Chain A
């Protein structure tokens, strides 16, 4: 099993729908992150969590929310999807130093 598992791998949804992307990790790390990747823009941080009770907004959190259900699980929700949220979404985890993030394989989300 992968260290970081994201589901679904691909999703097509309609504008206005609520959608949840799930992430689970087996690294035993406290820190988890959600990034969005768009062509030519690299990765941008959406939300991050340093432990179950500590959740923080990243640089592009508008239109997104998260839930840290357990140390190993960190979900990202789009409350009302819009087309410009079409992107590749990555979950990652790290130890307390942030040395060497471990990424999931990504969720390719298309909003039509």
Chain B
């Protein structure tokens, strides 16, 4: 079974709005990573947050991690049409081996 689960499964927002998606996982982790996938293409690494970190920023992305709740969130600020994609969280269920959730599909409307 998969370690991580994203919520919601799908999200539709207007251009310029913020998009927030969540990831819950089951077991202890060393790090949690977020990836983006554009329609049927390969996944692209967005950001990594270590278990001893609570928040991390990269451009318009903000990731939080709450290890006590075994959850993470990804916030995309000021969304653009190009942000339309599926977003996956991934956790290291064993050293150096990632388990991916089923993803959140984000649609940004012009």
Q: Name A's B-contacting residues (CB within 8 A).
A: 4, 31, 33, 35, 40-45, 48, 50, 58, 88, 90, 92, 94, 96-106, 108
Contacts and interface: CB of A to CB of B under 8 A. Distances in A.
B92 interface: yes
The 10 closest A-B pairs by CB, nearest first: A103-B42, A98-B96, A42-B102, A100-B45, A43-B100, A103-B43, A42-B100, A105-B42, A42-B101, A104-B42
Contact of B45 (A31, A42, A101): A101
- Sorting the interface of chain B by its residue count into under 10, 10 to 19, 20 to 34 or 35 or more gives 20 to 34
The SS class assigned to the B binding surface is strand
B84 interface: no
B12 to A, nearest CB: 18
B48 A99 contact: yes
B96 A4 contact: no
Contacts of A50: 96
B59 interface: no
B43 A90 contact: yes
A22 B88 CA distance: 24
A103 B96 contact: no
Given A35-B100, A101-B90, A101-B98, 8 more contacts: A42-B88, A90-B42, A98-B96, A98-B97, A98-B98, A100-B33, A104-B42, A105-B42
B14 interface: no
18 contacts: A33-B97, A40-B102, A42-B100, A42-B102, A43-B88, A44-B2, A50-B96, A90-B42, A90-B43, A98-B92, A98-B96, A99-B31, A100-B33, A101-B33, A103-B42, A103-B44, A105-B42, A108-B40
Contacts of B42: 4, 90, 103-106
B23 to A, nearest CB: 11
